[in-house]
């Protein structure tokens, strides 16, 4: 499963493209959310993902006449028909509040913390471990990450 919001779709685009190539691609869930229809990124990719994967595309708010899904990405997690959430894996990238509440919903579904992958790219500055802006406790996000499983990431609070 991949859950991404806004510009957080960019770093997972390659992952989703690879999932779409798999033989069992229809068994892979992708939930992508944007602020509005005009903010949607990778429109051509979204069409391909919709054909090949189990895609839920949603917007936070939409103009009158919009016929797609409306609501936060977290709204669509509870209804996913997962056969074994305890062994399922999820990649979550987006704004911090979206990531926080997505993780809560995934945990409610039975996902294990070590099977939830998150990105802390937003905390990086120099990318070399020199400036120290990304340091949380003894972890340098730019050197030790920026991708972590949630079992580690939940302690990276700044």
- Model confidence pLDDT, tens digit, residues 107-130: 999 999 999 999 988 888 898 999
Answer whether 6's CB lies under 8 Å from 95's CB.
Answer: yes
Give the pLDDT confidence score for residue 158 in this predicted structure: 67
| pTM for the whole structure | 0.92
Residue bearing tokens 């709204």: 75
Give the pLDDT confidence score for residue 157 in this predicted structure: 81
Answer whether 30's CB lies under 8 Å from 53's CB.
Answer: yes
Contacts 24+ apart (CB under 8 A), 69-73: 72/33, 72/98, 72/101, 73/3, 73/4, 73/5, 73/31, 73/32, 73/33, 73/98, 73/102
């Amino acid at each position: 499963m991949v859950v991404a919001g806004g510009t957080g779709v960019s770093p997972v685009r390659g992952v989703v493209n690879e999932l779409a190539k798999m033989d069992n691609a229809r068994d892979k869930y992708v939930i992508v959310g944007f602020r509005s229809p005009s903010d949607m990124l990778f429109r051509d990719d979204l069409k391909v993902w919709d054909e090949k994967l189990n895609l839920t595309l949603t917007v936070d708010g939409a103009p009158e006449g919009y016929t797609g899904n409306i609501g936060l990405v977290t709204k669509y997690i509870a209804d996913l028909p997962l056969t074994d959430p305890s062994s399922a894996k999820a990649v979550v990238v987006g704004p911090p509040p979206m990531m926080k509440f997505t993780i809560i919903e995934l945990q409610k579904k039975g996902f294990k913390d070590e099977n939830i992958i998150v990105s802390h790219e937003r905390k990086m500055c120099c990318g070399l471990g020199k400036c120290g802006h990304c340091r949380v406790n003894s972890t340098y996000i730019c050197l030790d990450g920026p991708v972590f499983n949630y079992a580690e990431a939940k302690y990276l609070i700044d």
